[in-house]
């Protein structure tokens, strides 16, 4: 069975669409224009669609009897000042949750996900004879804040869309065009972010005896947190505890009343997660007690669920990729400590997930061990043609592994 491929007209239109989307990014859960754009495109293609989870859009692409599958494309940008120098670089700004204005960039490449899924739908619509079944197109907001998938599910997604037998999702990565990266099992880490307010007692800088110094206390916490991964976990267990921000005080001769830390935790599974988060709570509380300070306040900012590729269905997709692009194009070692909420769509209803990364860069950029700027960099600049060719081809190939009908002239 041969995979459907985009013709030059669809590919060229997808490249233009990608450039347009790249120039018009929006922040997480504020994808108002992006959602409206996707709705207009689905309407124009005649694909039934509805809003779900605020700025989420669901399309139902039906073509007769057959299995139902779902395909996720996330839609949000990031608060990054783009520095690619590209003709279609973003100059957009957006409003952060704290009310401040920030530059916005599609710095994680979610624009490639939207454009390739729309083009994939167009190819499928143009070749109804090559497949049958239903594809639930999930245009998901708020991936970067771990909010969108949960919000869509909580908004009744699976009451309103048919239940799929698998949820597929893909993510652009700093890899050469044609490459796809996946394997059965864990594809990303669980991730938790907290804001911790350490309370002390304010005093004049010359009168430390009247203070409980939150800067010293918070510093002990930062140092002690380093021992969780280094001293408490089995050295073979991958985990990260990062203190990303530390803010306290306004003037050098005032001991402040409080200090604020934000921390980011990456863990491979629920068991390690529970251990690490428990240790963080223990250390924060015990260091405050040691300083004679009140109990610190913990605010949970976000929590990324697990992302695990199904052990039976993932090899099926890997074989389809290998058949389409060659075994060399299928990479199985590209696993970092990133996080993704795509797994929640399936986990919420006990349905398996298959997730892969795809390449979008000229292979010359990887010569001599070099690599282009990665996701979340202000210099992240996928090649539009490589991104669209690989994104659309990979999507069609994986969909074909579940819904394809062997064309009559290829049947044995």
CA distance 49 to 301: 31
CA distance 231 to 234: 8
Taking CB under 5 A as the rule, does residue 161 contact Zn ion?
no
Residue nearest to Zn ion (CB): 108
Shortest CB 171 distance to Zn ion, Å? 6
Nearest to 403 by CA among 108, 153, 134, 212: 134
How many residues touch Zn ion under the rule CB under 5 A: the total is: 1
Q: Which is nearer to Zn ion, 212 or 360 (CB)?
A: 360
Q: Could you say which of 15, 21, 52, 108 contacts Zn ion (CB under 5 A)?
A: 108
Shortest CB 338 distance to Zn ion, Å? 7
| β-bridge pairing 297-304 and 190-199 | antiparallel
Q: Which stretch binds Zn ion (CB under 5 A): 100-108, 267-275, 291-299, 323-331?
A: 100-108
The torsion angle over the Cα atoms of residues 157, 341, 45 and 19, rounded to 10 degrees, is 150
Q: Which is nearer to Zn ion, 167 or 198 (CB)?
A: 167
Q: Which stretch binds Zn ion (CB under 5 A): 83-91, 107-115, 250-258, 265-273?
A: 107-115
Q: Which is nearer to Zn ion, 104 or 108 (CB)?
A: 108
CA distance 27 to 144: 9
CA distance 324 to 409: 19
Shortest CB 343 distance to Zn ion, Å? 13
Q: Please report the beta strands in 159-314, taking only residues with DSSP state E, as ranges in sequence order.
A: 167-172, 180-181, 185-186, 190-199, 203-204, 240-248, 254-255, 258-267, 297-304, 308-309
Shortest CB 143 distance to Zn ion, Å? 6
Q: Which stretch binds Zn ion (CB under 5 A): 91-99, 101-109, 126-134, 236-244?
A: 101-109
Do 138 and 52 meet the contact criterion of CB atoms below 8 Å apart? no
Q: Which stretch binds Zn ion (CB under 5 A): 12-20, 102-110, 207-215, 324-332?
A: 102-110
Query: Which residues contribute to the site for Zn ion (CB under 5 A)?
Result: 108
């Amino acid at each position: 069975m041969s995979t459907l491929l985009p013709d030059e007209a669809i590919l060229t239109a997808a490249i233009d669409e990608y450039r347009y989307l790249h120039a018009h990014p929006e922040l997480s859960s504020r994808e108002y224009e992006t959602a409206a754009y996707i709705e207009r495109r689905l309407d124009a293609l005649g694909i039934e669609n509805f809003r779900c989870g605020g700025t989420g859009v669901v399309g139902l692409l039906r073509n007769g009897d057959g299995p139902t599958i779902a395909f996720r494309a996330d839609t949000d940008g990031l608060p990054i000042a783009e520095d690619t120098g590209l003709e279609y670089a973003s100059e957009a700004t957006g409003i952060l949750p704290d009310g401040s204005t920030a530059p916005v960039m599609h710095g994680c490449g979610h624009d490639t996900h939207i454009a390739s899924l729309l083009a994939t739908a167009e190819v499928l619509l143009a070749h109804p004879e090559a497949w049958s079944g239903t594809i639930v197109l999930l245009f998901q907001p708020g991936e970067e804040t771990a909010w969108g998938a949960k919000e869509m599910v909580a908004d009744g997604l699976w009451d309103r869309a048919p239940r799929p037998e698998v949820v597929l999702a893909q993510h652009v990565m700093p890899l050469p065009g044609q490459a796809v990266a996946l394997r059965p099992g864990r594809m990303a880490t669980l991730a938790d972010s907290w804001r911790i307010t350490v309370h002390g007692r304010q005093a004049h800088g010359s009168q430390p005896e009247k203070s409980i110094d939150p800067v010293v206390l918070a510093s002990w916490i930062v140092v002690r947190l380093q021992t969780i991964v280094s001293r408490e976990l089995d050295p073979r267990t991958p985990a990260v505890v990062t203190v990303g921000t530390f803010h306290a005080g306004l003037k050098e001769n005032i001991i402040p009343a409080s200090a604020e830390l934000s921390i980011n935790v990456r863990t491979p599974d629920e068991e390690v997660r529970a251990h690490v988060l428990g240790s963080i709570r223990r250390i924060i509380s015990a260091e405050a007690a040691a300083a004679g300070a009140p109990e610190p306040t913990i605010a949970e900012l976000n929590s990324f669920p697990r992302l695990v590729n199904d052990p039976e269905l993932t090899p099926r997709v890997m074989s389809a990729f290998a058949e389409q692009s060659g075994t060399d194009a299928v990479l199985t070692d590209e696993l970092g400590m990133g996080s993704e909420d795509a797994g929640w769509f399936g986990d919420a209803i006990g349905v398996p997930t298959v997730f892969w990364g795809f390449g979008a860069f000229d292979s010359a950029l990887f010569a001599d061990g070099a690599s282009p700027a990665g996701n979340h960099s202000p210099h992240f600049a996928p090649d539009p043609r490589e991104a669209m060719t690989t994104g659309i081809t990979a999507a069609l190939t994986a969909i074909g592994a579940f819904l394809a009908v062997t064309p009559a002239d290829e049947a044995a």
